[in-house]
């Protein structure tokens, strides 16, 4: 699904507000851990990069997280250039967990493959649903 510019902005506002209140839960995947080890970035560095995401960094979403082993919530994907590297950032607001707006960073690492939907300027984001 492709979101409108307004939907991307609304997601980022909600995500950042929840992150400020609750912090960001970091999922320790192999790719995330490898990026942290290789880059020397700290969790605070990653949090700061996420807080600076803009709608121009949007790639795709919202999409359902179809894994039955993870809490329910929609997944949003962003890409951002940082220190000469293209980063792949997958974010999620958890639903139905009993906590208001828990915030998760599912993926944060160098882009591993060419994405089907590359970075789009905001003007190319779908403006209305049909």
- How many domains does the chain contain in total? 1
Tell me whether residue 47 is in a domain: yes
Can you give the CATH number for the domain in which 109 is found?
3.30.2310.40
Of 26, 1, 5, nearest in space to 89 by CA: 26
Read off the pLDDT of residues 60-85 as tens digits, 9 standing for 90 and up: 999 988 777 777 788 999 999 998 88
Domain containing residue 37? 5-117
CA–CA separation, 118 and 83 (whole Å): 19
The answer for residues whose C-beta is within 8 angstroms of residue 46's C-beta and 6 or more apart is: 24, 26, 36, 105, 108
The pTM is what? 0.80
**pLDDT tens, position by position, 29-56:** 899 999 999 999 999 999 999 999 999 9
**Residue 123 domain-assigned?**
no
β-bridge mates for residue 75, sequence order: 63, 92
125 in a structural domain = no
């Amino acid at each position: 699904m492709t979101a409108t510019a307004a939907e991307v902005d609304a997601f980022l506002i909600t995500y950042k507000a929840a992150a400020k209140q609750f912090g960001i839960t970091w999922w320790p995947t192999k790719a995330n851990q490898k990026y942290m080890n290789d880059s020397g970035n700290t969790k605070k560095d990653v949090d700061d990069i996420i807080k600076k995401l803009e709608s121009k960094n949007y790639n795709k979403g919202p999409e359902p997280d179809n894994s039955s082993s993870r809490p329910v919530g929609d997944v949003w994907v962003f890409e951002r250039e940082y220190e000469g590297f293209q980063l792949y950032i997958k974010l999620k607001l958890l639903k139905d967990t009993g906590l208001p707006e828990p915030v998760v960073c599912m993926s944060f690492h160098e882009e591993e493959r060419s994405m089907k939907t590359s970075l789009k300027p905001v003007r190319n984001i779908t403006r209305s649903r049909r």
